[in-house]
Amino acid sequence: MTNPEGADAAEPAADSTADSAAQEDAVASEANAESAAAVTMTSEDAAPGEILLRVTDLKKHFPVTKGVLKRQVAAVKAVDGLDFDVRAGETLGVVGESGCGKSTMGRLITRLLEPTHGTIEFEGRDISHLGTAGMRPLRRDVQMIFQDPYSSLNPRHPVGAIVSAPFKLQGVRPEGGVKKEVQRLLEVVGLNPEHYNRYPHEFSGGQRQRIGIARALALKPKLVVADEPVSALDVSIQAQVVNLLDDLQGELGLTYVIIAHDLSVIRHVSDRIAVMYLGKLVELTDRQSLYDGAMHPYSKALLSAVPVPDPRGKAQRGEDRILLQGDVPSPLNPPSGCRFHTRCWKATRVCKNEEPPLLQLRTGHQVACHHPENHEDQRPEDTELLSVAEKTADELDSERSAIEQRDREAVGKP
């Protein structure tokens, strides 16, 4: 692979004098040498802690169209401006209720969806708008584990075909042959390698999810995005699958983005946790700071919903269970200002009028809230709480327009 910029630099040399051409050549070859160095650097695994994936102002709006002419009348703002990094070797947990745009985010960074706005950089390379062909080589490095083990495996394909599809599609010939490698992978994820010829319906949900994990790991990816990998599984086997993911991370040096709708699943395995609400990040910090001092009221509410084995611990922390009222409002017409204000018990006038920016309030601890918990108030002057009636009205407002939209809606294709 040559650096396109290096090639560009050499271009004008063609019509200049021989002398300067030689000079330009020297410059160009220097640039090439530099780019070669850069390429070798990026093609090696990023050292632990280096930034593997960087997302900047990422948005995905699904158009809502109307009529035969498919005129766009509105947009579902599923993801509406995300900024975060994923560092090599870490596990980033992404948490938020259903409908907050987590899956959309996962499908954006694996480029199953094309962003409406913003950039996704993988190992320093902008992949935001690469096409199917452009993405193909990168597919080896970024893989996904899906939520529903009953839908993520093709019922017509035997397990061997499912786990060997990555080799076929990427034209990779593993050492010792495909069959042997597939059997090795099955063993790695804790399945009987003799079951190569079985079909998905002959396995339980947990076993199927292991097959999905084997498929995702076949090409030795660098980044694995797991979209609620255990939420469809029986509680009794959730831990086994999470532990498997955790073990494999250590063995294979993987970087994970694990999505979950509550904190119970990811709290043990995440290094950092990003809390998402209605298409935005509301808090991003390392696990310990989140548990010790969550600042965003929404994070607090999610934390309080996690069952604690020792109730005294909870009492000591002085926490009562915070019950979130209602559902996530529609991303078709999100509430004004802070999107959480319709459900927030601390909401004031400024929360309704001004959107709180995501700010680093402590080292490595970003929060988007005017009146954070466990931290000094950002807008101490604004003390009058919004009335319940007003918040409910705002929520209904968002809901009503969503229902009106749904009545006419033909939601556009992704």
Partner 1 sequence: MTAPTHDTVKADEAEADAAADVAKKHVEGRSLGRIAWARLKRDKLALAGGVTVAVLILVAVFAPVLTALIGQDPNEYHQDLIDPLFGTPTGSFGGMSADHLLGVEPVNGRDVLARIIYGARVSLLVGFLSALVAVVLGTVLGILAGYFGGWLDALISRVMDMLLAFPQLLFIISLIAVVPNSMLGLEGTGVRLFVMVLVIGFFGWPYIGRIVRGQTLSLREREYVEAARSLGAGKRYILFKELLPNLIAPITVYTTLMIPTNILTEAALSFLGAGVKPPTASWGQMLNTAVRYYDQDPMFMLVPGIAIFVTVLAFNLFGDGVRDALDPKGTR
Which of 76, 226, 302, 369: binder of ligand SF4 (CB under 6 A)? 369
Nearest to 113 by CA among 126, 125, 104, 123: 104
Query: Residue 78 interacts with ligand ADP (CB under 6 A)?
Result: yes
Q: How far apart are CA 281 and CA 205, in angstroms?
A: 31
Residue 105, Cβ neighbours under 10 Å: how many?
28
CA atoms in the 13 A half-sphere facing the CB of 345: 10
User: Which H or E run contains 53?
Assistant: strand 51-66
Q: Which stretch binds Mg ion (CB under 5 A): 38-46, 101-109, 112-120, 375-383?
A: 101-109
The binding track of 40-69 with respect to ligand ADP, each residue x by CB under 6 A or -, is ----------------------x-------
Give 54's DSSP letter.
E
Residue of the chain from 65, 103, 238, 333 that contacts Mg ion (CB under 5 A): 103
- Count of C-beta atoms within a 10 Å radius of residue 73: 14
- Count CB-CB contacts under 10 A for residue 52: 24
> Of the two residues 208 and 346, which places its CB atom closer to ligand SF4 in the complex?
346
Applying the rule CB under 8 A, the residues between 167 and 206 that interact with partner 1 are 169-170, 194-195, 197-199, 201-206
- Binding pattern to ligand ADP, positions 90-129, x when CB under 6 A? ------x-xxxxxxx-------------------------
Bridge-based pairing of strands 365-367 and 117-122 is: unpaired
Q: Which two tokens stand for residue 375?
A: 């931290």
Closer residue to Mg ion (CB): 112 or 178? 112
Instruction: Enumerate residues 280-319 that contact ligand SF4 by CB under 6 A.
Output: 296-297
Q: Which residue, among 253, 199, 265, has the nearest Cα to 227 in the 3D structure? A: 265
70 lies in the binding site for partner 1 (CB under 8 A): yes
Size of the site for ligand ADP (CB under 6 A): 14
Give the C-alpha separation, 275 to 298, whole Å.
8
Question: Which parts of 76-115 interact with partner 1 (CB under 8 A)?
Answer: 98-99, 107, 110, 112
Q: Taking contact as CB under 6 A, which single stretch among the options 160-168, 180-188, 305-313, 363-371 is the one that binds ligand SF4? A: 363-371
405 part of the interface to Mg ion, by CB under 5 A:
no
- Contact (CB, 8 A) for 57 and 237: no
**Please, what sign has the CA dihedral across residues 69, 72, 78, 83?**
positive
Closest CA to 406 of 327, 310, 314, 333: 333
Cα angle 131, 40, 252; round to 5 = 80
Is residue 219 classed as helix, strand or coil in its secondary structure? coil
Is the CB of 183 or the CB of 348 nearer to partner 1?
183
Parallel/antiparallel/unpaired status of strands 255-260 and 91-95: parallel
Q: How many residues interact with ligand SF4 (rule CB under 6 A)? A: 13
Least distance in angstroms from the C-beta of 228 to partner 1:
7
- Footprint of partner 1 on residues 8-67 (CB under 8 A)? none
Question: Which stretches of the chain bind Mg ion, using CB under 5 A?
Answer: 103
Question: Which stretches of the chain bind partner 1, using CB under 8 A?
Answer: 68, 70, 98-99, 107, 110, 112, 132, 135-137, 139, 142-144, 146-148, 150-159, 165-166, 169-170, 194-195, 197-199, 201-206, 212, 215, 219, 228, 231-235, 261, 413
Question: Which stretches of the chain bind ligand ADP, using CB under 6 A?
Answer: 62, 76, 78, 96, 98-104, 331, 411, 414
